[in-house]
Amino acid sequence: MDMSISGLLWQLLAIVLALALAPLLTGWVNQCRAWLQNRSAPPLLQPYYMLHKLFHKDVVLAHGASPLFGFAPYVVFGCMLLACAIIPVLSTDLPFAPSADTIALVGVFGLARIFISLAAMDIGTSFGTLGGRREMLVGFLAEPALLMVIFTMAMIAQSTSVATIVETLAHREFVIYPSLAFAGIAFTFVSFAENARVPVDNPATHLELTMIHEAMILEYSGRHLALIEWAASLKLYAYSCLGLALFFPWGIAQGDSFAGLLLAIPVVVAKLAIGGALLALIETLNAKVRIFRAPEFLGTAFLFAVLGLLVRLLLESRV
Amino acid sequence: MPTLLPIDVLLIAACAWLAIGLAGVLAPRNFFFISKVLFPLGAAVAVLAGLTSLSYLGGGPQTAVLAIGLPDLPFHLRLDNLTAVFVLLVGFASAGISVFAAGYFRKGEGTAPGLMCLQYHVFLASMQLVLLADDAYAFMVAWEVMALSSFFLVTTDHRHAEIRRAGYLYLLIAHVGAIAILLSFGVMTAGSGDYTFAGMRAQPHTPFWASVAWLLALFGFGAKAGLLPVHVWLPEAHPAAPSPVSAMMSGVMLKTAIYGLLRVSFDLVGTPLWWWGVAAMAVGLATALFGVLYSTVQSDMKRLLAYSSIENIGLLAVALGLTLIFHAYRMEALAALAMTALLYHCLAHAGFKSLLFLCTGSVLHATKERSLGKLGGLIHRMPWVAWLALAGVIASAGLPPLSGFVSEWLLLQAFLFSPGLPHAWLNMVVPVAAAVVALVAALAGFAMVKFYGIVFLGQMREEALKDAHDAGPWERAGLAWLGLLTLALGVLPTWVIGRIDAATTQLLGTGLSDKVREHGWWMLAPISPDRASYEPLIFLVTIVAAVLLGRQLVHRLYHGRTRRSPAWDCGYVFQGPRAQDTAEGFSQPIRRIFEPMFRMERHFPTLRDEKPYYSVKVEDHFWHGLYLPLARLVNGISALITGLQGGRIAIYLLYSFLTLILLLLVARP
């Protein structure tokens, strides 16, 4: 572990960058979506205004809320922050990188999911439990698919460490892996489901019977809601950066040379901008499916992921 | 003065347990003495046994001969590292359970307290002897004592017919399993008549007889552990038993079966064949998936946990299978990785499953209710139990930074190496098995959210729950001890692996400890940090820091004002407890997605019903497809045989005479 001062500084920069960029990414996706749907777009900085407003408001706590309810937003926020600190956004050489490999990263997301689902069940309203149940449904369908994607990557790089995977794919001789195509499709499906995006959930809905994420956080207000919204932005940011790191790793610095890191920032911003626009496009072109079609959607993702693994084992391992 | 060897200390501990049990019988009415003196004393003995084996780990084998039992047939006992790991498990887990039991048992419930104390401590001592036994005779005696004492503990509340039925089923399957184990030992002696384990090790086996012995052992120990299809006793016996007994059986006793499988597979039977690993893995995957799916659809909290135990036993069998496959191909470093995952999961499961079962015990005492449909909101009345149960739930769902995640992580890492197997078919199929393991782990999260959310969160589903009281000090201490074990196993994996590695090294000839120690105590990197690493402490510290720092910052920069009001719930007026999900409602998506896995009887209301109701009953396919036909078959055969029993003594004398003639004809010297 590189525990030098500069390493720690870069680690801190990565965390601050995540905190700052994540709401911007959400704002950008919302803006693109509004343009594509012929609506007048909200300002790019709208998520920041909202966070600021929410932090100022009082928390209105339901009578039946237990301490778990107030505790959960901080845990979820902490998990997402940890995930953002581990994923190599700028550099593969971060002090926190060895603290979790990709499997542990899935575990971090799982921990956050359990806490948010439990918090949703805490007050005991009809929509809260409905949201918690659906979130766990999406979770248990998405998690195996995500793990299979990671297995494919890990078999290519001979490692589950995110940093090593990125280094293998970005900085060694260029080889085209067909299995990566399958894994990429599966990963895209999974990240749509995990981030409560359109074919599975709709981040803009408040139509009661269709919502998942929104149903879970109905009872949250004030600073708690702000933290959850921020954590949701961080999750989108983390998934985007993970996808970019795994499938488009070019531009991520190796080591902590100043120039390389400085160059990495605009590259990451550009990649995120393109990714966000694509996300908005896909969301606009698709309709939300019924909740019981979600297993089919995620089952397809799982199938693609296993296909990727099999392609890797059948065709590529002899290369 | 002769020095006291660890094996002597363990034997003294077993004797101490027996003495404590007898003391209970001598004062059967003195409830205070039994619960507040004898049970804590039993816990102290358990800690002593645990610490002894902890300090022993890494030492050479020690033997002892006890001249009890039949003449010329003494008990051979032996302490080695495999035994020590499991003694450690028994000691540390049962310490917490005994302390909890000191506050749990009430006057006037079922068996008299003195008798219960005897059964409980005989059960503990017999588990210790199972682990120490070094010949088939001592092993079978201890194994049977263990089965019988636990049978009596299960039927503590023997006034209820369904509890007697559960006990009967348990006893029946335990004995079918015991016969298989006995036969397996018989095959391994290979006709030499030497029933010591040392004698079995020395026998050469042809692959055929080795496979027969191993398959018999898999069936026999599988019946005790709850592998498919001999799992049916588990979801009946665990809910029937008092909670400390359920915790002991699920957390500790099931592991003795895993110990037996390890002892036979890697020590007694010789070199394993690769297809044993495939068989163990296939059975394990089926068991794990079956267990977790059934645990998600249960409406009784103890049955839910019992099925979750089946799932965990399945995962252990998968790890065993993977170890066998690697071992058969002489890839010992990878076999060591898989075996470490296996041993680690044994320890982790002993901690968190005992914890959860004990929590259900506290809930049961506070509410008199086991059905999830009548619980809810207990976090307000029982904060101690609720927060400690949360630790158990997170560990059981296999999430960082607690114990369940470490073993799952190690197992997945071991799976990642399987493409290196020198077998064209295996190296493709085995990684796909990891997909099933991933699915099982994710479903376990669903089951645990259901368990916790419905029992502890939400609104109280019954008025009576408002009077629920938190656990007493003894119960809290027992729960906290198991919670601490769960945390320690989660956060200090390198230290734990450094200890249990002695067992891996003994069985496989190589271990992980050198590689694990290389990178400092905080980083778990079983192969190399480039390949995979996990630092649970950083996890814990970061999340705790984010919670504390985030709270401080938000409160300083903005404010910490809070108002209370009724819940919003999109403005709906009816917000009573019945608006929440029921236990059945919560698992409806699972029943829908995995419909063919369940045998369901549903009743839907129609428009014209006077009193409309909805009901769903989920049953086990195995029960109707396998057990009931088998029972009918046995009944049919026995009906045929009853014809022989005329009831007249002359006929029986004739049978004896004919048998004698036949034997004289056949068995001529």
Residues B507, B375: Cα–Cα separation, whole Å: 47
The CA-CA-CA angle for residues A283, A224, A51, to 5°, reads: 60
**Using the beta-carbon criterion (under 8 Å), do A129 and B593 form an inter-chain contact?**
no
Reduce the DSSP state of residue A114 to 3 states and report it: helix
- Best residue of A136, A206, A209, A306 to probe chain B, by most B CBs closer than 10 Å: A136
Q: How confident is the model at residue A173 (pLDDT cuts 50, 70, 90)?
A: low
End-to-end CA distance of chain A: 33
State the CB neighbour count (10 A cutoff) for residue B574. 8
Do residues B559 and B546 make contact, with C-beta atoms less than 8 angstroms apart?
no
CA torsion sign, B488 to B492 to B498 to B500? positive
Reduce the DSSP state of residue B619 to 3 states and report it: strand
- Contact status of A261 with chain B (Cβ, < 8 Å): no
Residues B190, B37: Cα–Cα separation, whole Å: 49
Range of B660's domain?
A: 624-666
Residues B49, B32: Cα–Cα separation, whole Å: 25
Length of chain A: 319
The per-residue pLDDT for range B211-239, each reduced to its tens digit, is 999 999 999 999 999 998 889 999 999 88
Predicted pLDDT at A261 = 76
**Using the beta-carbon criterion (under 8 Å), do A309 and B432 form an inter-chain contact?**
yes
CA distances for A19 relative to A227, B5, B534, angstroms: 11, 59, 24
Tell me the shortest Cα–Cα distance from A140 to chain B, in angstroms.
Answer: 5
Residues B57, B406: Cα–Cα separation, whole Å: 21
Which residues in B lie closer than 8 A to residue A103 (C-beta atoms)?
A: 409, 412-413, 532, 534
**Using the beta-carbon criterion (under 8 Å), do A82 and B380 form an inter-chain contact?**
no
pLDDT greater at residue B111 or residue A157: A157
* Domain count within chain B: 1
The per-residue pLDDT for range B408-467, each reduced to its tens digit, is 999 999 988 777 788 778 877 888 888 899 999 999 999 999 999 999 998 888 888 888
CA distances for B243 relative to A182, B177, B358, angstroms: 48, 24, 6
Token reading at B426: 């295996």
Q: Is residue B631 part of a domain?
A: yes
Q: Which residues contact B199 (CB under 8 A, 6 or more apart)?
A: B189, B192
Residues A285, B618: Cα–Cα separation, whole Å: 41
* B 339-378 → A contacts, CB under 8 A: 376-377
Tell me the shortest Cα–Cα distance from A163 to chain B, in angstroms.
Answer: 8
Do residues A67 and B570 make contact, with C-beta atoms less than 8 angstroms apart?
no
Residues B275, B281: Cα–Cα separation, whole Å: 10
Do residues B528 and A163 make contact, with C-beta atoms less than 8 angstroms apart?
no
Residues B121, B42: Cα–Cα separation, whole Å: 7
**Using the beta-carbon criterion (under 8 Å), do B570 and A127 form an inter-chain contact?**
yes
Over chain B, what is the mean pLDDT? 88
Q: Is residue B645 part of a domain?
A: yes
- CA-wise closest residue to B90 among B120, B131, B60: B131
**Which residues are registered as beta bridge partners of B617?**
B601
Tell me the shortest Cα–Cα distance from B541 to chain A, in angstroms.
Answer: 10
Which residues in B lie closer than 8 A to residue A62 (C-beta atoms)?
A: 564-568
Residues B268, A136: Cα–Cα separation, whole Å: 44
The amino acid occupying position A47 is P
Indicate the domain borders of chain A: 5-316
- B512, B518, B521, B525 alpha-carbon torsion, rounded to 10°: -60
| Nearest-by-Cβ selection for A60 from B399, B523, B565 | B565
pLDDT greater at residue B203 or residue A304: A304
Residues B512, B231: Cα–Cα separation, whole Å: 33
Q: Is residue B445 part of a domain?
A: no
**Using the beta-carbon criterion (under 8 Å), do A64 and B567 form an inter-chain contact?**
yes
Predicted pLDDT at A319 = 44
Q: Parallel, antiparallel, or unpaired: how do β-strands A59-62 and B562-565 relate?
A: parallel
Q: Which residues contact B70 (CB under 8 A, 6 or more apart)?
A: none
Do residues B217 and B180 make contact, with C-beta atoms less than 8 angstroms apart?
yes
Do residues A236 and A22 make contact, with C-beta atoms less than 8 angstroms apart?
yes
Note the ipTM here: 0.93
CA distances for A296 relative to A291, B61, B595, angstroms: 10, 55, 15
Token reading at B468: 């629920």
State the CB neighbour count (10 A cutoff) for residue A194. 23
For B523, the closest chain A residue by CA position comes to A99
End-to-end CA distance of chain B: 54
Residues B162, B212: Cα–Cα separation, whole Å: 36
Averaged over B574-597, what is the pLDDT? 86
pLDDT greater at residue B560 or residue A114: A114
Residues A132, B451: Cα–Cα separation, whole Å: 13
pLDDT greater at residue B31 or residue B503: B503
Residues A145, A301: Cα–Cα separation, whole Å: 6
- CA-wise closest residue to B71 among B148, B151, B137: B137
Size of interface A-B (CB pairs under 8 A): 268
Query: Is B605 exposed, middle or buried, given 0-12, 13-18 or 19+ CB atoms closer than 10 A?
Result: exposed
The amino acid occupying position B374 is K
The per-residue pLDDT for range B611-643, each reduced to its tens digit, is 888 888 888 888 888 888 999 999 999 888 887
**Using the beta-carbon criterion (under 8 Å), do A122 and B458 form an inter-chain contact?**
yes
Tell me the shortest Cα–Cα distance from B26 to chain A, in angstroms.
Answer: 47
* A 168-187 → B contacts, CB under 8 A: none
- Contact status of A158 with chain B (Cβ, < 8 Å): yes
Which residues in B lie closer than 8 A to residue A298 (C-beta atoms)?
A: none
Q: How confident is the model at residue A256 (pLDDT cuts 50, 70, 90)?
A: low
Q: Is residue B644 part of a domain?
A: yes
- Contact status of B212 with chain A (Cβ, < 8 Å): no
Which residues in B lie closer than 8 A to residue A117 (C-beta atoms)?
A: 449, 453
Reduce the DSSP state of residue B298 to 3 states and report it: coil
Per-residue pLDDT at B2 exceeds 70: no
Residues B621, B612: Cα–Cα separation, whole Å: 28
For A219, the closest chain B residue by CA position comes to B568
B123 sits in which H/E element: helix B113-132
- Contact status of B36 with chain A (Cβ, < 8 Å): no
* DSSP per-residue string spanning B451-481: HHHHHHSSS-SSGGGGG-----HHHHHHHHH
- A238, A239, A242, A247 alpha-carbon torsion, rounded to 10°: -150
Averaged over A110-139, what is the pLDDT? 91
**CA atoms within 13 Å, Cβ hemisphere of B116:** 29
* B 587-646 → A contacts, CB under 8 A: 589, 592-593
- Contact status of A218 with chain B (Cβ, < 8 Å): yes
Share of chain B above pLDDT 90, in %: 45
Q: How confident is the model at residue A75 (pLDDT cuts 50, 70, 90)?
A: very high
**Using the beta-carbon criterion (under 8 Å), do B547 and A59 form an inter-chain contact?**
no
- Contact status of B435 with chain A (Cβ, < 8 Å): yes
Predicted pLDDT at B531 = 79
Averaged over B572-580, what is the pLDDT? 81
